[in-house]
Structure 1
Amino acid sequence: MGWSLPSLIAPRGGTGTVGGIMNFANNMMGAVAPIVTGFIVGATHSFANAFLVAGFMLVIGILAFVFLLGKIEPLPEPGVSPD
């Protein structure tokens, strides 16, 4: 469902831009995750806490998606009045 959001919310011609911004943010987190995992494993000498942090972040992401996103509506196009 996440990858369908740009096509649902972006104005005409902006789907690629919104998708690119979303992809950039996702890839940045993908680059940071192994570094954070390394710090946690280095500090605790166990992967258990790293998995707990990853699970916690997953739950936070799900809750944010469900409660903060709200109703998904298309962005209005510039110069077009809503019907």
Structure 2
Amino acid sequence: MVSEIFPIRTRGRGISLAVLTNFGSNALVTFAFLPLKELLGAENLFLLFGAIALLSPVFIVFVVPETKGLSLEEIETKISK
């Protein structure tokens, strides 16, 4: 999916930025887990993570454009609108 988001001319840099963001987000969750557990309690923290997980498909369905069967040029045109 990530490779379809970026135009061909900037794909390498875009994917690098996406991977960096992914690793950064993972590190943030890892380092913030224990302080958040102390602040919110384990039950509330897992409820928060669960709510985020349940809202993610809603975001995908309503915001992320469908790219099945489209060429890279068509995807670029669709995303740039």
What interval of TM-score do these two structures reach, taking the shorter chain for normalisation?
0.5 to 0.7
Query: % of aligned pairs identical?
Result: 18
Structure number with larger C-alpha Rg: 1
The normalised TM-score by structure 2 is 0.63
The normalised TM-score by structure 1 is 0.62
Q: Which residue of 2 aligns with 1:11?
A: 7
What is the total number of aligned residue pairs between the two structures? Answer: 71
CA RMSD of aligned residues (A): 2.2
The structure that is helix-richer by fraction is 2
* Map 1:25-36 → 2, pairs under 5 A: 25-36=21-32
Q: Deviations 1:30-65 (Å, cap 9, x if unpaired)?
A: 111123322221124x42222111111222222212
Ranges in structure 2 where 5+ consecutive residues have no aligned partner: 68-73
Ranges in structure 1 where 5+ consecutive residues have no aligned partner: 77-83
- The 8 Å contact of residues 41 and 47 in structure 1, kept in 2 or not, is answered as yes
Give the deviation of 1:68 after TM superposition.
1.0
